[in-house]
Amino acid sequence: MYIKQLSVFIENREGRLQEVLDVLKKSNVNIVSLSLADTSDYGLLRLLVNNPQAGKEALSGNGFSAMLTDVLGIRLSHRVGQLQELLEVICKANINIEYMYALSTGTDDASIVIKTSDLEKAAEVLRGTDVELISATEISGM
């Protein structure tokens, strides 16, 4: 039910992102989706990849600070208000959304990745809606 997200802390300097991507490429790890947030000193790169464990090991072995985090992948219909309705369900269950980003799945539907304060409860309340949870198997096949 959960997807393993690869998170990498990188210095905010020229070429550092390219170095991360080069390590993943040489390790045959395919990037499915990513989000990059930065400050003046460092960046936090969040990635969904086809082989999270291999990606973590390759990056750690090359001096990068990398970790795996559980997140939810959610497929929802492309219609006005769908995201707001999804967030309303989560909010009514008293679950905090820590972050989210878009996920490209190659379908006409919209997809997002979310990290919440309680993934198990979020998955449970979302099963009662018209959205679809995306499996780790589906991500690894992309």
- The reported pLDDT for the residue numbered 8 is 97
Q: What is the mean pLDDT of residues 36-61?
A: 93
Tell me the pTM. 0.84
User: What are the structural domains of the chain?
Assistant: 3-69 (3.30.2130.10), 71-140 (3.30.2130.10)
Bridge partners of 43? Answer: 10, 38
Average pLDDT of the chain to the nearest whole number: 90
- 60 and 66 in contact (C-beta within 8 Å)? yes
Q: How far apart are CA 131 and CA 85, in angstroms?
A: 10
Q: Which residues pair with 46 in a beta bridge?
A: 7, 35
Residue 61 makes CB contacts below 8 A (sequence gap 6+) with none
Chain-centroid distance, C-alpha 120: 16
At 91-131, the pLDDT tens digits run 999 999 999 988 876 666 678 888 889 999 999 999 888 88
Rounded to an integer, the average pLDDT of 15-44 is 91
Q: Does 1 have pLDDT greater than 80?
A: no
Banded pLDDT at 51 (limits 50, 70, 90): very high
